[in-house]
Amino acid sequence: MSVAIAGVASRRRGERDWLTTAVIALALLTVPLWLPWVGGYTALASHVLVMGLVAMALNFLLGFTGVMSFGHAAYFGLGAYGTGLTLRYVSDSTMLALLAGILLGGIAGTVLGALIARRRGVYFAMVTIAFGQIFYYIAYSWNDFTGGYDGLRGFSRQPLQIGPLVIDIQNNGTLFYYFVLTVFAVSVALMAFILASPFGRTLLAIRENQRRARFLGIPVDRHIWLSFSISCFFAGTAGALYALLNNFADPTALHYSLSGEIVIMVVMGGMRAFWGPLVGAAVFVVLQDYVSSMTVNWMSFIGLMFVAVVLFFPRGLLGILRRRREA
């Protein structure tokens, strides 16, 4: 009897997840149609997708593996610099620059993850901050190569050429939004596939109880390292899109303060919900854009909202909607 009830509950949960995915997909596909009616613009929508992707990348590690990183901005920023440096010094190919940014952020995370995978708790979090600040100060001080404090300029995204077809993502904001959406969709689909695999289920076991997982023979350190590496590849992807969006890369994209904002997005949207970080990123970015146009103290309003969510809705904003649907 209990098995049957659990099966029904699992099936209903799956149906709700598919409904949430369908609603989000429909909303994202139709953004250029309804966004102007609410006072938005396509660059803002692209920014939401970029920050949503890096928040979901962190959630892969935090929400589904149970490991906190306060240095994920480092791999986001490395992705941005990898793309910008490629466009400026190597090639004007947008796709090559995108690939370079992904690889730089992901490989850096893979190498450093091997060094810190054995650390736990606050020690893991502090080491991620330390490595992130190292990259920040390199970008900040290497004026001749990275532009230093002023950031990396002198590059811009170029139109995509697919055979005889030329897609002008350079000047057409709507086409660039759909380019970002395509990369976002591929990344999210890959993330969902990994989480649904046996490897993903093992990560959930580690999240629930690392000691029990170790007793079951699971190589916990190796899985945390792989989870960290995969997460950094997705963060690097978001950073590469960020550079293409702004035609600019600056040291603040590597700073730990941005890592804190990414954590806020994850917690605000819902840590253990797959789409929660995207919801949190949308709220954060839209509030930042709207409130900052009225006051320089915009972070105070977001901070108050974050405190309210943590105190009264610990499951995040998406958790509130799920709870209402289940009621």
Per-residue pLDDT tens digits for 283-296:
999 988 888 777 77
Mean pLDDT confidence for 124-135: 91
Give the CA distances from residue 117 to residues 19, 68, 113, 114, 221, in Å, rounded to whole numbers and listed in that order.
36, 12, 6, 6, 6
Q: For residue 262, is pLDDT > 70?
A: yes
* pLDDT for residue 235 is more than 90: yes
Q: What is the pLDDT of residues 135-146, one digit of tens each?
A: 999 999 988 888
Q: Can you give the pTM of this predicted structure?
A: 0.91
Higher pLDDT, 162 or 173: 173
Backbone CA torsion sign across 308, 314, 315, 320 = negative
- Which residue type is seen at 295? T
Is 323 in contact with 285 (CB distance < 8 Å)? no
Among 18, 56, 41, 38, which residue's Cα sits nearest to residue 278?
Answer: 56
- Residue 160 sits at φ, ψ, to 5 deg, of -85, 135
Contact 58, 72 (CB under 8 A): yes
Give me the mean pLDDT over the 119-125 stretch: 85
Alpha carbons 273 and 293: distance in angstroms, whole number: 31
User: What percentage of the chain's residues is helix, strand, coil (to nearest 5)?
Assistant: 80, 0, 20
pLDDT band of residue 156 (cuts 50, 70, 90) is very high
Tokens found for residue 205: 């076991």
Q: Contact 315/322 with Cβ under 8 angstroms?
A: yes
- pLDDT reading at 27 higher than 90: yes
Give the chain's radius of gyration (CA, Å): 20
Tokens of 116: 């810190």
- What is the predicted pLDDT for the residue at 321? 63
What is the pLDDT averaged over residues 84-92? 93
For 247-257, what is each residue's pLDDT tens digit? 999 999 999 88
Greater confidence, 119 or 231? 231
With beta carbons less than 8 A apart as the criterion, state whether 54 and 76 touch. yes
Tokens 């396509």 correspond to: 42
CA 252, CA 27: separation in Å to the nearest integer? Answer: 30
